Chain A
Amino acid sequence: MENIIEVKHLSYRYGKEQRPALNDVSFDVHRGEWLAIVGHNGSGKSTLAKSLDGLLPFTEGTVTVDGLELSPATVWQVREKIGMIFQNPDNQFVGATVEDDVAFGLENRQVTREDMIPRVKAAIEEVGMHDFAQREPSSLSGGQKQRVALAGIVAITPSILILDEATSMLDPLGRHDMLELVSKLRRDQKLTVISITHDIDEAANADRILVIDDGQLVQEASPAEIFALGEKLVDLGLDLPFTAKLKAALKKRGIEPPTNYQTMAEMEEWLWQSLSNT
């Protein structure tokens, strides 16, 4: 499979800190995949995301994005390819209205007005915010704000979308809608998605999961393999899926469920089989 991002031996140290925030991290991102990066607060996940976009000048290693090696000379070309959404929706607005905000990226790229108007309109339509085009961003809910931020990214048509805990401040409904929207954008815009998250549902959407701990890449696996770790998931900075919690509670009561990863449906089937055989 073709790699859209290649990271080799990446290290980064903040200021005078003794411990590196990133320590010799290497991995690839395949074109078109959804890659989740998980880990504790402070594990280095966000540092990693910022390194990919040239927001942090890493000290060692190389990052290659879509064939371009990241350097001060190429950073602006690389940023053309990457759209990033951060955790706090309030920290990423510049425009007085939703439309203005979405147009900001295009203005920076000196897109002509004739070209800009339809692109802004289309991007706002794409995220389902057309009724809010003239609204002030501050009057929107958290989930709506993240939609607008996504529209700003759609407008500049990058090939990679990075979500840095972008759903962690949303309510459950907002989180669910946002993940559906990202799935749709990924399909429609042929995006590669990298999501940095603690949310088990968000990680479950991914094709692959990377686990970062203490600045190092400690594991790379499919969601099913990762979720099979059960109670160890908490050490990885992820929430426990409900089935893992239930298994632990059953074990405490002397009932030994099958050890491999089980979905809710499999768990239900197993319990039903076990208890109805009377």
Chain B
Amino acid sequence: MAISFEHVTFTYQAGTPMAQTALEDVSFNLPDHGYLAIIGHTGSGKSTLVQQINALLKPTSGTIKIDDFTITPNTTNADLKPLRQHVGMVFQFPESQLFEETIRKDIAFGPQNFGMSPEDANELADQMLTTVGLDISYAERSPFELSGGQMRRVAIAGVLAMRPQVLILDEPTAGLDPQGRQEMMDLFEQLHREQGLTIVLVTHQMEDVAEYAEQVAIMREGRLVKFGDVQEAFGDPDWLLANQLDVPRAAQFAQQLAKRGFQWQPLPLTADQLAEQIAEQWQKRGTDHV
């Protein structure tokens, strides 16, 4: 699903003395099957922005279009039900939302709520369990006996069971160990690649952005200060540093070498991209010697 924001502004407690503007005049277009990373400091408006996409928060002014759905300040909740079925949201620490007696029941809860028969929902639940990399033998167990990383997988399976076309992930790997993080990111990449899910990822992990994202949105104080592909977003490390954002390690390293006369085209953002360009120069060196 393509997502477009047109001059979206959002104010918490609008019209009261407590009013606080969290998004200001945000506009962008994300193509269908995109993979968007949203970065920025704590409090820059990232979470407020993603909550607009499934209309948990509705804009104070402006318009959001998600394929054929249009969200305006006047959209009613009744109009939003079909949209919410298509936009799956994984909150921070989703494992805290588990509540059922068994893992199967927990995953099947959402689809049943949207009218699926218990039999079909259970079958779908088992399927989703496999998708997130857990063995089917887990289905009858209590979700509360699992490790933190496994609980998070179950919670994500519950979101996937809604068969969303857009998956919103708000810091999905926070608090996991490096291996758990890697497995989680691989899962999203697979869903994106194989099932064509549009992914919107809120993260502080710049290495993940460089590795997985296709588009990047940079937020600062409620404004969208940069939107583009990964190279456009990270190609100017000085700008990132001036905005107190982390530069991917590979780009930092490449910049150090650039000071000594190395030439990069374009600036490498991942270890793989960096090694690729080094290997090219390595071979050239070989031929120069001959």
Chain A positions near chain B (C-beta within 8 angstroms): 40-42, 87-88, 141-143, 165, 168-169, 171-174, 198, 234, 237-240, 242, 245-246, 248-250, 252-255, 264, 267-268, 271-272, 274-278
Contacts and interface: CB of A to CB of B under 8 A. Distances in A.
Interface in B14-50: 41-43
Contacts of A248: 271
Interface stretch (B82-90, B190-198, B219-227, B272-280): B272-280
Q: Which are the 4 A-B pairs with shortest beta-carbon distances? A: A249-B275, A242-B249, A245-B271, A253-B279
B12 to A, nearest CB: 14
Nearest to B272: A249
B112 to A, nearest CB: 31
A249 B246 contact: no
A246 B271 CA distance: 5
Contacts of A272: 257, 260, 262
A41 B177 contact: yes
A171 B202 CA distance: 12
B174 to A, nearest CB: 6
A274 B283 CA distance: 12
18 contacts: A41-B148, A141-B42, A169-B175, A171-B41, A173-B244, A198-B177, A242-B271, A245-B271, A246-B274, A249-B271, A253-B278, A253-B282, A271-B278, A272-B257, A274-B285, A275-B278, A276-B261, A277-B285
Interface in B246-277: 246, 249-250, 252-253, 256-257, 260-262, 271-272, 274-276
Interface of B: 41-43, 147-149, 174-180, 182, 204, 206, 244, 246, 249-250, 252-253, 256-257, 260-262, 271-272, 274-276, 278-279, 281-282, 285, 288-289
A141 B43 contact: yes
B287 to A, nearest CB: 10
B174 A242 contact: no
A2 to B, nearest CB: 33
A272 B262 CA distance: 8
Centre residue among A41, A168, A173, A264 by max chain B CB count within 10 A: A41
Contact of A42 (B43, B147, B289): B147
Given A271-B257, A272-B257, 7 more contacts: A41-B148, A174-B42, A237-B179, A249-B274, A250-B279, A278-B288, A278-B289
Centre residue among A165, A237, A240, A271 by max chain B CB count within 10 A: A271
Contacts, number: 97
A234 B179 contact: yes
A274 B260 CA distance: 13
B93 to A, nearest CB: 8
Contacts of A268: 253, 256-257, 260
Nearest to A264: B253
A242 B177 contact: no
A42 B43 CA distance: 32
A246 B250 contact: yes
B204 A250 contact: no
A242 B282 contact: no
Contacts of B43: 141
